[in-house]
Structures are given as structure tokens and as C-alpha cells.
Amino acid sequence: MEDRVRTLLLILLLTSMSTFLSGISHVNSELRTWIVDDDGPADFRSIQQAVDQVNSGDIIYVRSGTYRENVAIYKNLSLLGEEGAIVRAANAGSAAFQISVNNVNLTGFQITEACNGIFLQEAENCLVSNNTVFSSGCSERGTGITLNFSDHNDIRENYVIEYCNGILLSDSNHNDIYDNTVQESNDVYDFAIFNSTDNMIVNNTIQGYKGFYTFYAGGNVLKNNTIGGSLPCPFIVSGVSLSDYLIDVDTSNTVYWRPIYYWINQKDKEIPSGAGMVVIVNSTNISVKNQNWVAVQFAYTNNSLIDNVDTFHTIGLHLYESYNNTICESDLRENWGFPSRCNINLANSTNNRFYHNNMDIPDAIIYKNEPGNLWDNDYPAGGNFWGNYNGTDFYNGPYQNITGSDGIGDVPYVIGENNVDRYPLMYPHEGILGDVLHDGTVDIYDALVFADVFNAMPSGPNWNPYADFNHDNAIDIFDAIILAGNFGKVA
């Protein structure tokens, strides 16, 4: 009997302790909001101290002030910055905020002096929003916002300034990237996607040196993105297979305030006039004609035409796995004032014919030594004008052995080991000076466009290189005189 009483008392005691401990656990697990203030009454003085001591799921509210630290977030937390909450990286070589756990909310901070601003490493279901990330004070100027092996995150309404890479996705899928602004980035890319798919890239503004770049990144969706500023490389798609180029890009996306035409699996069509960028994928018999200041990319595209296209101040012409195309009557010179950079890229592309184009030096052609492309249209049509060709024109005929000039150089122009222009032109192949719209007529529409950009300089928002007829980097009275002198002429 006594043993039974003792057993009952023990059970009651254990039950009471369990209830008491459960109550303690419940109290400790309640979510709390903690205050961080660098110079006022608060729970913590530093953000990292708060992260280290609070519980997962808690909210850390950071008051206005300057916090010199690098913050490693390894708990499921919400970090909310009051207006004026500034994080200056104590170690510029490390990320100002390193997120290595799921379900983090990072909102409302000004981040500076960090070569890498916000870095997500194997993090999912995070929200990064309304942050300003500025590389000031960092000599290396790395990346503003990085997602590395991080999926299902929401990156929105952030402002990234002066980074080599503005926003970078690497091996990261199913993310929403909305309403961000990347400005004044340089050296690498403003927005880059590597080996990542099924990301939604929507309503972003990119205004830097190099715009949007993808590599091994098929399956992404781009909607209503604006790519502007002084960009020589506004939009580049690269890969080694067809799937890398299968990206959903509609005309709501713009380059230089003009639509991007990104066509996949099309045939027997012509790109509308006024394109800002043209990318043609897995298509045949496509015409790209009468386009100004536009870069063109063909991938897995055959039997198509590029005619009277001016790639001035762009990345030029890129062909990948594309065959039997004709490129003629076009100006392929000067990639943003750097003739030695890539104006023409012919990767795994052969039997393409180039003639009546204005070209820069051969160093501006990549894969120029690969055999199989044609650089003239036989005689007497001739080949292309080359900026550094210094031959003479004393003879004519298919073999250039008959006395008398014909506008074709007497000596072929060697482009590369396996590529020769047999009939190089002695003078640039030009349309009518004054034809701003390149539609073959100098008329009132050209005059109206010219009037809108009169007095513009290359650094200004209204600059139009096609109105600078004498190529002196100014749209002025001398150009107006040229237009007036040719008014009414038809090609």
C-alpha cells in the first residue's frame, strides 16, 4: 500500500513539473520585437549582438544611426531598419549582410563601404526589400546583391549603386526580382544571371555601363524591365546549348526606351522598325532591316538577313551556331568608341556572307580565324570597307589587273588566317547624309527627329549618333546644314 502511494505521488510530481516546464517553454518561445540603437536606450547596441542573442522568429528593429559592422544572419529573423539606419561594413572585403538561413526578412537599410552588400548563401524564402546598397569606400566594388545557390526568394524595391555587378544570381532558381534599380554600375554587369532558371525578373530599371547578361540561364522570364543609361552592352545572352537561349522576353522590356525583340522559333518574318535590341533564336528566314543604333544576336538561326542595320555604340553583331545568313549594307563600326572591342562575334557560325558593310579593324572580330564565312559578294559588287585598309586603287576587274580604278582595292584585305575580303571597298558604304531614320529618304520626319536632338552631346539623354552627320560628337548647325542640303533626296 505504501509503495502504491509513493508511486502515485511520483506521478503527480512529474506531471506538475512537466506542466511547469511546458509553461516556461511557451513563454520563451513567444515572438518578440527587440530594439537596436547605437546611441540611445534599447535592448542592444549592435545588430550582430541582437542576432546572436534573440530567438529564431523574432523581429529586430534597428533605429536610425550608423552601425559599423558586418552582420551574419544565421537565424530565421526579421531585421527592419528605421529610416536613416546605416550599416557601414567594418570589413569591406566581407558582405555587409550575409544571410545563410531560410525565412529572413531584411528591409529598410542603407548599406555602404562593403564590396559585397547583401549576400544570400543557400538561403530560401527570404525577403530583401527597400534597401539602398552603395559601394562607396570599397576599392574592389564587387556585387550589390548576390543570390548564390538560393531559391524562392523575393528581392524587391532595392536601390543598388556603383557596383561592378549590381544584382547577381548564381545557381539560384524560382526567385522573384521585382522593382529594383541598378545605377552607375560598371566594369562587369548591372544584372547577371548564371546557371539559374525559372526566375521572374519584372519592373527593374538598369542604368549603368553594362546592362543585362545571362549565361546558362534559359527558362527565366523578363517583363517590363527598362535598360537605359550609357550602356554599350545593354543586353547579352550567352550559352552553349539551345536551352540556354530559351528565355521569355517580350517587348515590354526596353533598351534605350525602345522595345527588345526576342523571337524564338519564328520563320518568314521581319523585325518591326524602331527596335532597341534584337535577339533571334532557333529561327529561319528572319529579316532585320533599317534599324538604327541596335545590337543583333542570332542563335541557332539560319537563312536570315541583316540589311541596313547600324550597330554604332552597341555590342554589335553576335552569331552563335548560325549559318547561311547575309549581312549587308550595314555599319558595324565603333563599339561604344572602342573599335578594338567585339563588334562581330562569330562563334560556331559559318557560311555567312558579309558585304557592303563598314567595318573596324579585324581585332574587333572574334573567331575571325575560323574558316567558312564569306567577306564579299564577288565582283563587281565588292566586299566591305575596312577602317585600316591602306591599299591602292589603280586597277579593276575580277583579278584587279586591268588598268583603271573601280572603287575596290587592288589587294585583298586579310581578316584572319582563314578569312579574306577579296574586294575591299576604298570608301565607306554610306546612305544619304541627313537620313536620320535610315529609311532611304531625307524628309520632314528626319527633320523633326533632328530638331528634338539639336545641341545634344554624347553624354546627354537626347544624344542620337545618327544625327551627328559629320561625326564630331556634337549635333549642331553644321549637321543642320548637311541635312538641309540633302533634303528631299531618295536612296
Q: What is the pLDDT of residues 14-55, one digit of tens each?
A: 334 333 333 433 334 578 999 999 998 999 999 999 999 999
| Domain membership flag for residue 473 | yes
The DSSP call for residue 197 is: -
Q: For the chain, state the CA radius of gyration.
A: 30
Weakest mean pLDDT among 77-81, 185-189, 250-254, 292-296: 185-189
d(C-alpha 422, C-alpha 406), whole Å: 14
**331 compared with 71, residue with greater pLDDT:** 71
Hey, what's the cell of 384?
566591305
| pLDDT, tens digit, 9 for 90 and up, residues 453-473 | 999 887 787 877 668 887 677
Residue 447's H or E segment, with its range, is helix 444-453
Q: For 201-212, how does the pLDDT look when each residue is reduced to its tens digit (9 = 90+)?
A: 999 999 876 788
Average per-residue pLDDT for the chain: 86
Residue 3, classified by CB atoms within 10 Å of its CB into exposed (0-12), middle (13-18) or buried (19+), is exposed
What is the per-residue pLDDT across 140-156, written as a single tens digit (0 to 9) for each? 668 999 999 999 999 99
Tell me which range, 8-17, 18-27, 82-91, is most confidently predicted by mean pLDDT. Answer: 82-91
Cell output for 393: 586603287
Of 387, 439, 107, residue with least CA distance to 273: 439
Q: Does 357 map to a domain?
A: no
In a domain, 418, yes or no: no
The three three-digit cell numbers of residue 383, written as one number: 566586299
- Mean pLDDT over 374-400 rounds to 93
Let me know if residue 67 belongs to a domain.
yes
Instruction: Write down the pLDDT at residue 190.
Output: 85
Q: Is residue 249 part of a domain?
A: no
C-beta atoms surrounding 160 within 10 Å? 29
Of 312, 308, 253, the C-alpha closest to 279 is 253
CATH assignment of the domain containing 50: 2.160.20.10
| pTM (2 d.p.) | 0.81
What are the helix (H) ranges across 300-388? none
Residue where a domain terminates, one of 202, 222, 241? 241
In a domain? residue 65: yes
The CA–CA distances, whole Å, from 387 to 18, 358, 368 equal 88, 8, 16
Residue 20 falls inside a structural domain:
no
pLDDT tens figures, 100-156: 999 999 999 999 988 899 999 999 999 999 999 998 756 566 899 999 999 999 999
Three cell numbers written together for 46: 549592435
Q: Where are the beta strands (DSSP E) in 390-448?
A: 395-396, 402-403, 413-416, 419-421
| Amino acid letter for position 277 | M
CA 310 – CA 295 distance, rounded (Å): 8
Run of H or E residues at 27: helix 2-28
In a domain, 186, yes or no: yes
User: From the CB of residue 429, how many other CB atoms can be counted at a distance below 10 Å?
Assistant: 18
126, three cell numbers: 527570404
Domain boundary residue, one of 192, 209, 241: 241
The confidence score (pLDDT) of residue 297 equals: 95
Which residues constitute the domain of residue 109?
33-241
Is a pLDDT exceeding 80 seen at residue 400?
Answer: yes
For CA atoms 196, 197, 199, 201, give the dihedral sign: positive
For residues 388 and 374, what is the distance between their CA atoms, to the nearest angstrom? Answer: 19
Helix (H, G, I), strand (E, B), or coil: what is residue 93? coil
Question: Which ranges of 226-281 would DSSP assign to H, the alpha helix?
Answer: none
Tell me 339's DSSP state.
Answer: T
Number of domains forming the structure of the chain: 2
* Cell numbers for 254: 526596353
Q: Are 25 and 32 in contact, with CB atoms under 8 Å apart?
A: no
Last residue in a domain, options 241, 266, 293: 241
Beta partners for 120? 99, 147
Query: Is the distance from CB of 186 to CB of 148 less than 8 angstroms?
Result: no
